[in-house]
C-alpha cells in the first residue's frame, strides 16, 4: 500500500484526521493543510513539512493567503479559510506522518505563485538552508523551479 509521503506532491491540499500536535482548541481534531514536501532520504530523521489552514478570522497581519467564498471550493476546502504565513510550518517525522489517516483532496493543486509565496514568506523564516533545499527539490518534482 502506498504511503502518504509517496502519493503527495507539493501544493496538494490534505485533510489529516485526528491531528494530535499543537494547535488552538481540541487536543485532537481534523485539520486541513497544504503539503510542502519532505527531506531527502539522506537526512535523519526525515521530516515532512506542511502548513495548516484555519477558518478562524483572528486579527491576521497582511501575511496570509485567503481562500474566501467562491475560491476555497476549487482547492477542496470545505469552508472559507486562510493560511497564516506568520505561523510556523509543521515538521513531522516521516514515520509519524505516514501513520496519520490523510485524505488527499482531488481538486486543483495550489498554483505556483501561492506555493512560492508560502516559501518566501513562511518557510524561509522558519527552516534551515538545508531544509529549504529539500523543499526546493520537492517543488522541482511538480515543475516549479525556484532559485
Q: What is the pLDDT of residues 65-94, one digit of tens each?
A: 989 888 888 898 988 999 989 889 999 999
CB neighbours of 94 closer than 8 A, spacing ≥ 6?
Answer: 5, 38, 39, 45, 46, 47, 48
pLDDT interval class at 12 (50, 70, 90): very high
Query: CB burial class (10 A; 0-12, 13-18, 19+) of residue 69?
Result: exposed
pTM of the predicted model as reported, rounded to 2 decimal places: 0.90
Separation in Å, CA 107 to CA 6, 71, 120, 134:
18, 12, 24, 25
Return the C-alpha cell found at 66: 485567503
Q: If one looks up domain 4-140 in CATH, what number appears? A: 2.30.30.110
Which of the residue ranges 24-33, 34-43, 67-76, 137-146 would you say has the lowest mean pLDDT? 24-33
Region 7-22: what's the mean pLDDT? 90
| Residues paired with residue 140 on neighbouring β-strands, in sequence order | none
* Residue 120, SS3 per DSSP: helix
pLDDT level of residue 24 (50, 70, 90 thresholds): low
Q: Where are the domains of the chain?
A: 4-140
Q: Which helix (H) or strand (E) holds 95?
A: helix 94-97
Residues 6+ apart with CB under 8 A from 88: 122, 126
Query: What is d(CA 128, CA 142) in angstroms, rounded to the nearest whole number?
Result: 22
Q: 120-130 burial, b for 16+ CB within 10 Å, e for fewer?
A: ebbbeeebeee
Amino acid at each position: 500500500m502506498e504511503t502518504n509521503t509517496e502519493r503527495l506532491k507539493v501544493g496538494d491540499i490534505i485533510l489529516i484526521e485526528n491531528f494530535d500536535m499543537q494547535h488552538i482548541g481540541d487536543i485532537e481534531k481534523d485539520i486541513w493543510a497544504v503539503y510542502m514536501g519532505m527531506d531527502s532520504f539522506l537526512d535523519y530523521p526525515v521530516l515532512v513539512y506542511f502548513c495548516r489552514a484555519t477558518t478562524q478570522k483572528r486579527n491576521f497581519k497582511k501575511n496570509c493567503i485567503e481562500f474566501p467564498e467562491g475560491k476555497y471550493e476549487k482547492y477542496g476546502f470545505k469552508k472559507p479559510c486562510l493560511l497564516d504565513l506568520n505561523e510556523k510550518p509543521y515538521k513531522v517525522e516521516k514515520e509519524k506522518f505516514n501513520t496519520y489517516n490523510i485524505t488527499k483532496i482531488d481538486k486543483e493543486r495550489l498554483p505556483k505563485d501561492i506555493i512560492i509565496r508560502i516559501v518566501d514568506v513562511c518557510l524561509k523564516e522558519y527552516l534551515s538552508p538545508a531544509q529549504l533545499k529539500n523543499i526546493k527539490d520537492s517543488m522541482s518534482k511538480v515543475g516549479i523551479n525556484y532559485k
